[in-house]
Amino acid sequence: MAEFSFELDDDQKAVRDWIHGFAADVMRPAAAEWDEREETPWPIIQEAAKIGLYSLDFYAQQYFDPTGLGIPMTMEELFWGDAGIALSIVGTGLAAVGVLANGTEEQIGTWIPQMYGDADDVKVAAFCSSEPDAGSDVGSMRTRAVYDEAKDEWVLNGTKTWATNGGIANVHVVVAVVDPDLGSKGHASFIVPPGTPGLSQGQKFKKHGIRASHTAEVVLDQVRVPGSCLLGGKEKLDERLARARERAKSGGERLKNAAMATFEASRPAVGAMAVGTARAAYEVALDYAKTRQQFGRPIIDNQGVAFQLADMRTRIDAARLMVWRASWMAVNGRPFESAEGSMSKLFASETAKQVTAQAVQILGGNGFTREYPVERMHRDAAIYTIFEGTSEIQRLVIARTLSGVQIR
């Protein structure tokens, strides 16, 4: 087990600086353009693939870093560059984590490489969980998966929404209901291979922020996938459903469902994304406050501005430490006995919203224009308190964990 440390080692620092260079030299100059275009920045993703930044090997190395800091370090630097472009680069990772969390070794080896493609033929993947009537309330999910035993196929029907890379992905990972009587415990995850008939893109959303990231509905109409595309396999699913039925009868301990296993593993990473955006806005505000003259002196000479910057930096550092702690705990098998993963996501997300709003305020009228990046950062930051579990859901998870009571 790796010891917890606040200091990156030399190799980690080298990787951090390498990612930071890409974010500064490639992502930032293109950020405003792709935000305005509201399109997937394929040329930027390809540039990342060419240097190995968008690749299965790179993310595997960071994911299995024994300190747990590889992924949060990567996320912070990329999202420091630009949140929309960064999400286009890392969005495939949520689908990959879905397979890692629920799949067999064979499924992991077969499908995750196809999610990324290669530098000459870049691919992306999509994780499809949310539905028009089932976001935070996963128990209301309606997309069904029915097993056709004669053909050893699963038939999927339903509509998914808010899917990053939905419809444009090479591989889709879809969470569906296999036993409606078990509520959220009757869910399973499925791979939908490229070119599968019946899967189509629905509405593409025009968003407030992270506009360079493609977000759309995914429509599943009589989509048939082989039995081997059920993540974890049917034997494991049958065993899990049987346990869930027994526990439901006895009123016993709840089991985690497939979607929650994915989100639980990714929450500290989302916190790191928020830290990156907050840090970027803080740095712009700090530089501006040092150079902007009002009443014959830089505005940072005023306590009203200086104290805001002090609070911003304090919250950013605190958020990073919470993210690092949760990431270290996760990779070293330490249970989140106080919902530390949700704590890190909650605090970092709220920090990003607060810090970017303060940055806009410090820049005044300039902060409200698109001539300065804090306006875009403020729009981007809004998503962190919404996706992969709203702030309200994080508070619910934390309260339930601490109290042992099913607070509603």
Kindly report, residue by residue over 140-183, the tens digit of the pLDDT: 899 999 999 999 999 999 999 999 999 999 999 999 999 998 88
DSSP state, residue 23: I
Angle (CA) 33-37-43 rounded to 5° is 70
Do residues 71 and 62 make contact, with C-beta atoms less than 8 angstroms apart?
Answer: yes
Cα atoms in the Cβ-side hemisphere of radius 13 Å centred on 256: 11
Tokens 């929309």 belong to 84
Per-residue pLDDT at 5? 77
How is the chain split into domains, by residue range?
A: 10-122, 125-250, 258-403
The token pair that represents 366 in the structure block:
């300039």
Give me the phi and psi of 177, to 5 degrees please: -85, 125
Q: Of 192, 163, 345, 177, which is closest to residue 257 (Cα–Cα)?
A: 177
Fold for 258-403, please state it. Butyryl-CoA Dehydrogenase, subunit A; domain 3 (1.20.140)
Q: Domain spanning 125-250 has what CATH number?
A: 2.40.110.10
Rounded to whole angstroms, how far apart are CA atoms 195 and 97? 22
**DSSP 8-state code for residue 26:** I
Q: Which residues of the chain have pLDDT under 70?
A: 1-2, 135-139, 250-265
CA distance to 106, 229, 236, 395, per residue, from 109 (Å):
5, 13, 18, 36
Provide the token pair at 7.
């200091």
Q: Give the start-end residues of each E strand in 165-254.
A: 171-177, 187-192, 199-204, 215-226
**pTM (2 d.p.):** 0.91
Q: Which CATH number is associated with domain 10-122?
A: 1.10.540.10
And the tokens for 135? 């976001």
Active site residue 77: no
How many angstroms separate the CA atoms of 333 and 321, rounded? 18
- What pLDDT shows up at residue 265? 62
Element (H, E) at 217: strand 215-226
Task: Check residue 212 and give its pLDDT.
Answer: 97
> How far is Cα 180 from Cα 140, in angstroms, rounded to an integer?
10
Selected catalytic residue, list 47, 340, 375, 388: 388
